[in-house]
Structure 1
Amino acid sequence: MSDYIVRATAGNGQIRAFAASTKELVEYARSVHNTSPVATAALGRLLTAGSIMGSMMKGDDDVLTLQIQSGGPIGGITVTADSKGNVKGYVNNPEVIIPANAQGKLDVGAAVGVGFMNIIRDMGLKEPYVSQTALQTSEIAEDLTYYFATSEQVPSSVALGVLMEKNNTVKQAGGFIIQLMPFADEAVISKLEAKLGSFTSITALLDQGFTPEMVLEEVLGEFGVDILETYPVKFHCDCSKKRVEKAIISIGKEDITEMINDGEDITVNCHFCNKNYTFSIDDLREIAEKRSK
């Protein structure tokens, strides 16, 4: 198995934990969007978070969207995930290049800038559940830690990382989300806080060859880790020409007629996977006929 997520508990069920390796899906995202190193790091972190948070959902048709709206040069990030390990996403400005931070690392916080994070859960109800929090550091992991604490009242620790090769491909990517259950006792809470306080870098562990299971053992081993489930995760976009056609039908007959009168083929781009769909004048005429019915 290449990219995958591990779900586990520790401390006799007082801690729940998820860890993921996401190198291949982040590299795929980099390749289809042609992202700069800092844009790859930002998108990769949010893709990793989305895949883990998507796995927390119960329903087969549940959909999670993580959306960062910010004023930094990256211009925002959108990631969508389901409960089956499928995730997709894009950055508004994939070519952003900025100087490294004071530690000589990719400055994701500066690239993202000041803004908000929207977490949207569509669980098939009348309206999706929407939560918005202000970005705290714009480094993404810390912002999600803040989200879990304030919006869901679940004490959590989020670690996300993307390590780049010198040729700007993805060397390592992954992360974890560790959460305390409501009935956790003070001794477990104190020990976990101390352990997480000394934790430094998820990418350092991944670069040493740590698997998601090994990462959880490294962080939670003293509590006793019980692996519950392991399943694959991948970058997957469900766009198709048929779905794009439905979107064109929805824009209205007058607009479609105007496209036909322009006398040129139109090309529609999928933001998530960067795939283009071309519709000829004959295609547009057929769509207009469907619109009239």
Structure 2
Amino acid sequence: MRDYTVRAISADGFVRGFAAKTTGLVQDMCNRQKTWPVASAALGRTVTMAAMMGLNLKEEKHRITIRVSGDGPLGQIIADADGQGNVRGTVDHPQTDIPRRADGKLDVGTAVGKGSIYIIKDLGLREPYTGTSPIVSGELGDDFTYYFSVSEQTPSSVGLGVLVKGEEILAAGGYMVQVMPGASDEVIDRLEQRIAGIGSISERIQEGATPEDLMYLVLGDDAEILESRPVRFRCRCSRERIEAMLRSLGKDEVESLLNEQGKAEVVCHFCGETRTFGEDELKRIIEEII
């Protein structure tokens, strides 16, 4: 089944929701970075969140970037998405291995650690908007819920799940719901009851639940699906971008690469591709640096 996200609203108009199935997307990224299970789970949850937030972007050049900066062994996790469903992500230490929790589940919270979440929205304005909040649990669903409540003052609930078996991603996806101004206590109570009964997101998806199914479970059977968008891995790296990065190092640094190695090899952290610039190319770059 294809990967995609949906945007929906409850019948009463007081709760909006987003849901995603990202199993193939997460598998692709984990294959590229050769992640071990706890890194797969953390990266997959962050990428799923970015995919859902991307539904609010209307133009391809608009971009949302999530940076999870914890002090745990995984290091930093980065995911970004554009307005066309293109998503990518990376984790500093993909081959991280830590003991499982007492209940047998992956200990994502310890692997992420304490720190901060940063969300940068580039909507083509003069300056991107950056919001931040502390990491409260490291499990990421709770952390994004807290982010929206504190940084954007929007009462929200986020559920994220990645089911991992060795190197295989059995299921990945999530949901986000946000309460609109004017919602009554009755609306909020009903929403909380539905969320409490949804159970494991990844298990629901493994059993065949679609993003629409997740929205109906959380918002009610009479919820309206407003939009559906495919999501896929796509990296923005290119030979031109990497050459620009080499130029930014300055003439002395590029000359050092030429003299010591005779070439420059640059590996993209997102897609894993290696691009090589030979002796002649480095000499040309040096000559063109002002």
Give TM-score, length-normalised by structure 2: 0.96
Give the drift of 1:263: 4.9
Q: Which amino acid aligns with 1:219?
A: V
8 Å contact kept, 2:17–2:219: no
Stretches of structure 1 lacking an aligned partner (at least 5 in a row): none
Q: Distance in 2 between matches of 1:231 and 1:263?
A: 45
Q: Distance in 2 between matches of 1:84 and 1:207?
A: 26
Q: Distance in 2 between matches of 1:230 and 1:121?
A: 21
Q: Which amino acid aligns with 1:185?
A: S
Q: Is it true that 1:215 corresponds to 2:214 in the alignment?
A: yes
The 5 A counterparts of 1:22-61 are 22-61=22-61
Which residue does 1:278 correspond to in 2? 276
3-state SS in 1 of match to 2:167:
coil
Q: How many equivalent residue pairs?
A: 290
User: Which piece of structure 1 moves more, 275-284 or 252-261?
Assistant: 252-261
Which residue does 1:200 correspond to in 2? 199
Give the drift of 1:259: 2.1
3-state SS in 2 of match to 1:213:
helix
Identity of aligned residues (%): 43
Give the direction of change, closer, same or farther, for the CA distance of 1:289–1:17 in structure 2 (3 Å limit).
same
Give the drift of 1:266: 1.3
Give the drift of 1:57: 2.6
3-state SS in 1 of match to 2:236:
coil
8 Å contact kept, 1:11–1:188: no
User: Which piece of structure 1 moves more, 16-25 or 250-259?
Assistant: 250-259
Q: Distance in 1 between matches of 2:9 and 2:118?
A: 28
3-state SS in 1 of match to 2:289:
helix
Q: Over residues 62-91 of structure 1, what are the superposed CA-to-partner deviations in whole Å (9 max), with x where a residue is unaligned?
A: 111111111111112111111211111111
Which residue does 1:123 correspond to in 2? 123
Which residue does 1:75 correspond to in 2? 75
Q: Distance in 2 between matches of 1:109 and 1:174?
A: 18
Supply the RMSD in Å over aligned alpha carbons: 1.4
3-state SS in 2 of match to 1:104:
coil
Q: Following superposition, which runs of at least 4 residues in structure 1 exceed 3 angstroms of deviation?
A: none
Q: Distance in 1 between matches of 2:146 and 2:58?
A: 23
Stretches of structure 2 lacking an aligned partner (at least 5 in a row): none
3-state SS in 1 of match to 2:81:
strand
Q: Distance in 2 between matches of 1:63 and 1:229?
A: 18
Give the drift of 1:131: 1.4
Q: Distance in 2 between matches of 1:290 and 1:243?
A: 16
